[in-house]
Structure 1
Amino acid sequence: MDERTPVLIGAGQFTYRGDPAASPSPTTLLKIAAERAAADAGIGAEGLAAIDTLAVVGFTIDAPGSKRGMIPHSTNPPALLSSMIGASPRWSVYSEMGGNTPQYLINMLAERVAKGEAELALTVGCEFLGSAMKRAGKGLSFDDWKAVEDETLELPKRVGDPRPGNTAYEARHGLNRPINIYPLFENALRARDKRSLADHQKQMGRLFSSFSKVAAQNPEYAWFPTERTPEELVEVSDKNRMIGYPYPKLLNAIMEVDQSAAVFVCSVRKARELGVPESKWLYLHGCADAADLWHPLDRQNFHSSPAMRLTGKRAFEMAGIGLDKVDFIDLYSCFPVAVEVGAEELGLSLDDPRGLTITGGLPYMGGPGNNYVMHSVAAMHRKLTENPGKYGLITGNGWYLTKQSTGVYSTKAPDKPFEREDPAVLQREIDALPHPEITESPQGPATIETYTVVHKREGPFMAIVVGRDANGRRFAANTPDDPALLAGMETSEQVGRTGTVVQKGDLNIFTPD
């Protein structure tokens, strides 16, 4: 075997459930996960300090337009973490936003190792909104965080795609938050399949009930380790209010958690030098990265993901196996439609006996911002090292079914050198796909292509419509502020409903017939 073959040698996770007033600071969370990964690999503090490469997953509060700047955190998490663990990496980066990021970083680090650009790399991330928002909401002090977090450091080098996930036009109409956009995909998928509203709610409940069961079996790390029935997940109540139709709260990813995870990637030569036993080695057999047409309104439709399909296909081609050889699966699961579309694009059934998660998924394991997939990889490392020779599949999804990263893993040694395909190859294929013409100023007769009704605690307050005008051009719109109309949009199928669209100021308003 080529001594530069990349291998994962250890992984660590941490979930904090204690008093918010005593919660670890952001980079302390990173440090805890890194130390646990070093302990898992058996390299200890000395090995941790010896890293030559460090990649930190971007914090959610560093997303463009974030209003959470009152929460103290380092201006350069890689630099601060390096000083905390006594490391001097020659290459360190901080990522842009996206739930695909951990798998993307592992793919990148594996490539750097294979090219001889790195020998011992650490990738780590965390989320701390659980305690941070409680501290802020209760007026608790952040002085202990400020004593740790160095906010005077120079800005770090960034990796990943920095583009915002939506246009200003989309944002004006509410297409600027996951809880508003994923329901558009869900309703479009249901309409395509000609499933009734009630039957589709039951399908979502069954799907995510199986995820909650896995979370209940993961009490050490899962944020909500409680098995829930399908009915509990979809029935609207005071404790399970509607967020964006058709998703009650319990079907939404939960970002307000305190969780961290880390993974070591190194060369075979370095693993041997460090004395890491081969029983801890996990190989990345296949990987791929690509993005769908970037903005939601540009998509071919709202019930598919060419990027999911093609990154899966390429990762399996690289690994030299098919889906039938995979034993463990973790599909990105921020909302039911992410799983439904991902499964369809990969050729999986929603009731596949292998299961579609090994952690419990983002609504139940926890959705730590951009770092959930690091927990998937950490869990997969354990699964596969305990089941030598078996294969595992992990998918990561960023923005709005936009950025996709895929990994195929096994303890089985690869029979060929690691060679990651340039993501630009797949990207050119996806970017060339045809898609509808967009209009920002539709006028006249129109038809709903997909929709959602967005709720506050008090009830529904806005409907978002993606429609087509008489010329087939796609547009975004809202509806009149009519409580009866909003309520009715949740009791009968709206996809295909006709109406009239007009402009009022900088908004488009669609009034159904």
Structure 2
Amino acid sequence: MVDLPVIIGAGQLTNHAGSLAGARSPLDLMAECARLAAADAGVPGALARVDSVQVVNIISWAPPDPAGELAAAVGAREGGERIYTVVGGDTPQRLVNEAAMRLTRGEIGLALIAGAEAMHSLKLSSAAGSPLPWPPRSGRGLLQDRPGWAQTEIAHGALLPARVYPMFENAIRAHRGWSIEEHRGRLGEWGARFSAVAAANPNAWFRKALTSEEVTGVGATNRLTAFPYTKRLNAFLEVDQGAALLLASESVARDLGVPREEWVYLHGFAHLNDLWFLSERQNYWSSPAIARAARLALGMASAEVDGMACFDLYSCFPSAVETAREAIGIPEGDPRPLTVTGGLPYFGGPGNNYVTHSIATMAARLRERPGELGLVTGLGMLTTKHSVGIYGAERPGGDWSPPDLVRAQAGIDAAPHPAMAGEPAGPASIETYTVAYGREGRPESTVIIGRMEDGRRFFANGPTDEHHIADLTAREGVGLRGRVAHDRATGLNRFDW
């Protein structure tokens, strides 16, 4: 019988510091969450047996050796492995997946996965003009192991998630045939539902249930960011939050004396990437990688989507949730919750570590409902990197056989996709787009992905005058026909109509 991996403890902390006196560093938050996880397992001394300390990439204030310093802070076993990840909101679930396989093989015995951010405290420090008395800061491990953007994407402003996810959103609207007003109403309802979950979550940063109009209505505290999103439809990063998980094999959990009712099993999992560059995607309203990863995870769990009691779909922006919902096969309007935390705009968006919180919250829910299964997704970069986990308190049946992820990834990578136009010129149309706004509410740029008449794709910028902006925000801009021109001096493309 396979010695299956189990989550034996989870800890979360949200620190609403009112002043610098209450500020806590990410290292301090992680250490406290690790202790909370051990207490949650009912074995406060368990941290001394941890032989694998894994830290999710920290954006706000990473010490020089995050995993090593956390290990020392919690008294983990000397000589154990220390892992610090690259960036990506998929990484917590991916770490769980990889640790689970190694636990079953006996390569490690007890794993601590943790992460934290302190962007709120950094903001307090900046406002006060006072430095934080924290250990030295390091930028190590901030990047991917390969470039995340093609040069044309960077040049035309398709770089930041706050610009790109609205482009996914507009592509989804056009694909579904929704009007601008219908779409606005759907976004408002999305925010109202997610914020209501956050309002009931003691670990959430915002504990207020918003109305649809409060989500989409533009005002002094809710400016337009990039069409069609307002500020309240974006992940909120200025939080001080930490979370930690303790994972063990069943045999180690028994040896530690962790009560059986505390165990939560990983029934199925997968992690895959979509075509790496934004410019390579087959379209901007679907994700083959999420669809494939979900099928593999469900197959491993011998489960169906209809058998999931709840979900936590990564929610940096509404388009991320809608893309995942469609890819996984959750029916539109399904009454089952799509978040157990409240989502990144309302629970909080602690950098790359949000999914450690969603797993911890899911585990607590499933302990109270032993017969249920829950599905969690992680997402990194521009709907690029994906991870899926299916959890339940009851022991999985079958042989717990992980999927062939290498083969699945090769199939995704081999998918055909539109060719890029090197120096596009001539008649063209908009495939998707956004209008980016400055803090004063004025349009700053239009970012356009378009198609030539022969199907080749290009990135471009467009006009920002009132007439043209109305064409993109008051009416459907996807499919709008015009002309694209290439400027050899700047290397930039411009689309006009």
TM-score norm. by structure 2 comes to 0.96
Match of 1:455? Answer: 437
Matched, 1:230 2:212: yes
Match of 1:124? Answer: 114
Q: Which moved more, 1:268-277 or 1:203-212?
A: 203-212
Once the two structures are TM-superposed, the CA of residue 332 in structure 1 deviates from its matched residue by: 0.7
Matched, 1:436 2:418: yes
Q: Which moved more, 1:20-29 or 1:430-439?
A: 20-29
Q: How does 1:459-474 map to 2 (within 5 A)?
A: 459-474=442-457
Match of 2:171? Answer: 188
Once the two structures are TM-superposed, the CA of residue 117 in structure 1 deviates from its matched residue by: 0.5
Q: How does 1:80-99 map to 2 (within 5 A)?
A: 80-87=69-76, 88=78, 90-99=80-89
Match of 1:138? Answer: 128
Q: How does 1:255-404 map to 2 (within 5 A)?
A: 255-404=237-386
Matched, 1:77 2:48: no
Secondary structure of the 2:473 match is: coil
| Count of paired positions | 493
Amino acid at match of 2:338: L
**1:38-89 per-position Cα deviation (integer Å, ceiling 9, x unaligned):** 1101111x2112201111100125xxxxxxxxxx531210011111112225
Match of 1:200? Answer: 183
Once the two structures are TM-superposed, the CA of residue 423 in structure 1 deviates from its matched residue by: 2.3
Q: Distance in 2 between matches of 1:268 and 1:480?
A: 61
**1:409-434 per-position Cα deviation (integer Å, ceiling 9, x unaligned):** 11111223433224212110100111
Q: Which moved more, 1:129-138 or 1:248-257?
A: 129-138
Q: Distance in 1 between matches of 2:148 and 2:36?
A: 34
Go from structure 1 to structure 2 and tell me whether the alpha carbon gap of 1:89 and 1:39 turns closer, same or farther (over 3 Å shift): farther
Match of 1:64? Answer: none
Answer whether contact 2:280 2:418 (CA < 8 A) is retained.
Answer: yes
**1:379-433 per-position Cα deviation (integer Å, ceiling 9, x unaligned):** 0110011111211110111111111100011111122343322421211010011
Match of 2:494? Answer: 510
Secondary structure of the 1:489 match is: helix
Answer whether contact 2:297 2:388 (CA < 8 A) is retained.
Answer: yes
Answer whether contact 1:327 1:391 (CA < 8 A) is retained.
Answer: yes
Structure 1: segments with no counterpart, 5+ residues: 62-71
Matched, 1:212 2:202: no
Alignment partner of 1:479 out of 436, 450, 462: 462
Answer whether contact 2:460 2:495 (CA < 8 A) is retained.
Answer: no
Q: Distance in 1 between matches of 2:332 and 2:118?
A: 32
Structure 2: segments with no counterpart, 5+ residues: none
Once the two structures are TM-superposed, the CA of residue 506 in structure 1 deviates from its matched residue by: 2.8
Match of 2:105? Answer: 115
Answer whether contact 1:111 1:418 (CA < 8 A) is retained.
Answer: no
Secondary structure of the 1:310 match is: helix
Amino acid at match of 2:25: S
Answer whether contact 1:11 1:263 (CA < 8 A) is retained.
Answer: yes
Secondary structure of the 2:87 match is: coil
Q: Which moved more, 1:413-422 or 1:242-251?
A: 413-422
Q: Which moved more, 1:46-55 or 1:209-218?
A: 46-55
Secondary structure of the 1:135 match is: helix
Identity %: 42
Match of 2:30? Answer: 30
Match of 1:41? Answer: 41
Q: Distance in 2 between matches of 1:265 and 1:184?
A: 38
Q: Distance in 1 between matches of 2:122 and 2:387?
A: 29
Match of 1:248? Answer: 230
Q: Distance in 1 between matches of 2:397 and 2:430?
A: 51
Q: Which moved more, 1:475-484 or 1:262-271?
A: 475-484
Secondary structure of the 2:420 match is: coil
Matched, 1:6 2:5: yes
Matched, 1:423 2:413: no
TM-score norm. by structure 1 comes to 0.93
Q: Distance in 2 between matches of 1:113 and 1:226?
A: 40
Q: Distance in 1 between matches of 2:138 and 2:148?
A: 27
Answer whether contact 2:89 2:354 (CA < 8 A) is retained.
Answer: yes
Answer whether contact 2:264 2:392 (CA < 8 A) is retained.
Answer: yes
Q: Distance in 1 between matches of 2:120 and 2:52?
A: 29
Amino acid at match of 1:498: R
Once the two structures are TM-superposed, the CA of residue 225 in structure 1 deviates from its matched residue by: 1.2
Go from structure 1 to structure 2 and tell me whether the alpha carbon gap of 1:89 and 1:426 turns closer, same or farther (over 3 Å shift): farther
Answer whether contact 1:56 1:93 (CA < 8 A) is retained.
Answer: yes
Amino acid at match of 1:40: D
